[in-house]
Each structure stands twice: as structure tokens, then as C-alpha cells.
Amino acid sequence: MAKAKKSKRKKTSGEDPNERVIVRNRKAKHEYELIEELEAGVVLHGSEVKAVRNGDVSIETAFATVKGGELWLRNLDIGEYAEAGRYQHDRTRDRKLLVRKAQLRKFAEANEQKGLTLVPIDVHISRGFVKVKLAVARGRKTHDKRQKLKAKEDDRKLREAKRHFVY
């Protein structure tokens, strides 16, 4: 008897729980001009991983720095995991990020330039590992933010007018 071949297609019925975005920094695109992005692994304790999987994480005040030849994520707030008991973690401790040396050098140079910072864009799970997407960003001034919002509104009005225009 011949064995049935397994399909190599991905299953489309339902999402894989090991591939999902946990939290996004929605203000980042408004507050900063994003220049370049990078994905990095995060070194976490067991209770932190469980809390992240539950979605109890906040990246609004987080940022990354280079310290001692390593990349560190600071002010990432991961809530406590109730079932951890007395083995709880410190909520806002500095967490080491895992990147290749070439990427670290490139982003370390950008981090040292005046006006540039490393901002987390999102925290997600990829193949079962907690990862963070970082971006080299330049802070926007208030008038730049207003101009961006005005241009976005003008584009929206133009698209709306084109949709209702009859030839």
C-alpha cells in the first residue's frame, strides 16, 4: 500500500498561537520618524514569559540602549503572573536583547548619534519565542506632527472626492 503524502501547505483554519503580536506601540509612528527596523529576541524568566503570553505587557515608556557591548531594553513593564507565587519577577527590570554582532554595531552607531533613539515597535511571539521589533527613530517636533496629520487628512479627503466623482 502507498502512503498518503502530507500536504506542505500551511493550515488556514485558525491562527497559530505561537505566531502572534502581543502588544504594539501605536504612538511610535506619530511621535517618531522611524528610520530602520530590527527584530531581537528577549531574555526573560519563566513567569515573565507566561505574563507576556497572557498579554500583560506595556511598551509605551520602553526604550533600548547599548551598555557594555550588549543591547538592553529598559522600562518594559511586564505584569506579575499570579500562579508564580513567591517566584515573581521585577516588573521593569532591564532585559537583555539578543542580536547579531553586526546588527549591534550598526544600531550602536545610530544610538550614539544625537537625536536618534531605539524605540520598541511591538512585542510578538515568533516560533514560540518572545521577540521585540525595534526601530531607530528620530523624535518629531510638534509642528512636524501637525503637518503629518494635515497631510494625512488631505489625502483622505482626496481619496473620498475621487470615490464620489462621476465622469
Could you read off the pLDDT of 123-136 as tens digits, one per residue? Answer: 999 988 999 999 98
Please state, in angstroms and as integers, the Cα–Cα distance from residue 7 to each residue in 4, 10, 11, 18, 127, following that order: 9, 8, 9, 20, 20
Mean pLDDT of the chain: 82
Q: Is the pLDDT of residue 143 over 60?
A: yes
> Hey, is 133 helix, strand or coil?
strand
Q: Which three cell numbers stand for residue 2?
A: 502507498
Q: Where are the beta strands (DSSP E) in the chain?
A: 20-24, 32-42, 57-58, 63-67, 70-74, 77-78, 95-98, 116-126, 129-139
Q: Supply the pLDDT for residue 14.
A: 55
Cβ atoms of 121 and 34 closer than 8 Å: yes
How big is the chain, counted in residues?
Answer: 167
Do strands 116-126 and 70-74 pair parallel, antiparallel, or not at all (unpaired)? unpaired
3-state SS of 17-39 is CCCEEEEECCCHHHHEEEEEEEE
| Fold of the domain built from segment(s) 20-139 | Small Protein B; Chain: A; (2.40.280)
> Hey, is 149 helix, strand or coil?
helix
Domain locations in the chain as residue ranges? 20-139
Q: Is the pLDDT of residue 86 over 80?
A: no
Q: Does the pTM of the predicted model rise above 0.85? A: no
Cβ atoms of 145 and 33 closer than 8 Å: no
How many angstroms from the chain centroid is the CA of residue 167? 45
